Amino acid sequence: MRAVDLHTHSNCSDGTYSVKELMDYAHEKNLAAIALTDHDTVDGLDEAIEYVSEKYPDMELVPGIEFSTVEEGKDVHIVGLYIDHHKESFVEKLQQFINSRTNRNIKMCKKLTEEAGIPITYEALLSSFPGAVITRAHYAQYMVENELVGSRSEVFDKYIGDNCPYYIEREKISPEEGISYILEAGGVPILAHPILYHMSDRKLDALVARLKGAGLKGIEAIYSTYSSAEERQVKELAAKYDLVISGGSDFHGANKPDIDLGCGRGKLFLPEDVLIPIKDARK
Ligand code: AMP
Ligand code: ZN
Ligand code: FE
Ligand code: FE
């Protein structure tokens, strides 16, 4: 049985591989399917779909996205698989969300320039990272490359870490909103890497119960950093709430150098038959 990877990032968000490089690498790894799940953007999907259908007919491209949502002040990620990313109502909602990020970036650049004496503009960020949704990871790379700071850690310790003076929050959506966006696009909403939220068992159970009520259909039970006990724990949750099992490496190229496509830290394996219940969950 071949492997699949249902959680990956390109340089349309904060990965370092271009869409084509990522697809070439997925094929080299003999994956039966790869989902492109960039953070809060579908910009890479058309290119991925076209490239894979022309060049790699033996590999399936699953159109996806990963929404950053907030639950009690902490990040909770919702992955969407098999989304119809051209559906008008979905595109409109996503655009509003992206506009709010743009406004935040303009404000954060102004604050860094005027108050911290770090000359940085949104236009400069855009021309350094053409086509990307600009996140703080891009600020860090830009500030280091342009020698505005000594190191990447300085960026988050002194300037734009969560509790730093020049940090500006981005507009936040709830996990339920993320789920509703994905359902709007006809996709399968999946709770990403629940173990990474470090919630108590009771709290995680309550969150899953609530999100199931909001339309959640799957959960990532197989993930690069999980121990086998953690994988078992998430599989039990999936069974309890009748959720399909998904997962993946969360490949980011050089931005997460210890994590490889398809096989994570070496022993990750998602058999291709996980796709059958995921496809069924679309209906
Ligand atoms: P944003 O969504 O624009 O708020 O940026 C979030 C991204 O910034 C994350 O995905 C990380 O890549 C990066 N980031 C945020 N805080 C830190 C930190 N303390 N250290 C390193 N990277 C961070
Ligand atoms: Zn990421
Ligand atoms: Fe994530
Ligand atoms: Fe991710």
* Pocket flag, ligand 1, residue 156 (CB < 6 Å): yes
37 CA from centroid of ligand 4 (Å): 7
The predicted structure's pLDDT at residue 49: 98
Query: In Å, how far are 4, 199, 272 from 1, measured between CA atoms?
Result: 10, 34, 7
How many angstroms separate the CA atoms of 48 and 73, rounded? 33
Instruction: With a cut of 80, say whether residue 98 has pLDDT above it.
Output: yes
> In whole angstroms, what separates CA 189 from the centre of its chain?
13
Position 56 confidence tier, pLDDT thresholds 50, 70, 90: very high
Lowest mean pLDDT among 98-102, 216-220, 228-232: 98-102
Residue type (1 letter), 53: S
* Pocket flag, ligand 1, residue 14 (CB < 6 Å): yes
Residue with token string 């949104």: 122
136 CA from centroid of ligand 1 (Å): 5
* Pocket flag, ligand 1, residue 135 (CB < 6 Å): yes
* Pocket flag, ligand 1, residue 161 (CB < 6 Å): yes
User: Closest residue (by CA) to atom 10 of ligand 1?
Assistant: 137
The predicted structure's pLDDT at residue 131: 80
Atom from ligand 1 closest to the CA of residue 135: 3
pTM, two decimal places: 0.87
Instruction: With a cut of 80, say whether residue 283 has pLDDT above it.
Output: no
How many angstroms separate the CA atoms of 147 and 164, rounded? 20
pLDDT tens, residue by residue, 8-18: 999 999 899 99
Q: Ligand nearest 15 Cα, by number?
A: 2
* Pocket flag, ligand 1, residue 137 (CB < 6 Å): yes
259 CA from centroid of ligand 2 (Å): 12
112 CA from centroid of ligand 3 (Å): 27
Atom from ligand 1 closest to the CA of residue 162: 16
Residue of 101, 135, 149, 170 with the most ligand 1 atoms within 8 Å of its CB, for mutation: 135
Instruction: With a cut of 90, say whether residue 123 has pLDDT above it.
Output: yes
Residue 88 burial (C-beta neighbours within 10 Å; 0-12, 13-18, 19+): exposed
* Pocket flag, ligand 1, residue 170 (CB < 6 Å): yes
Residue type (1 letter), 130: P
Residue type (1 letter), 259: I
129 CA from centroid of ligand 2 (Å): 15
Are the beta carbons of 22 and 8 closer than 8 angstroms? Answer: yes
pLDDT tens, residue by residue, 180-222: 999 999 999 999 999 999 999 999 999 999 999 999 999 999 9
Position 142 confidence tier, pLDDT thresholds 50, 70, 90: very high
Q: Which H or E run includes 60?
A: strand 60-71
* Pocket flag, ligand 1, residue 67 (CB < 6 Å): no
Position 114 confidence tier, pLDDT thresholds 50, 70, 90: very high
> In whole angstroms, what separates CA 91 from the centre of its chain?
17
How many angstroms separate the CA atoms of 251 and 8, rounded? 5
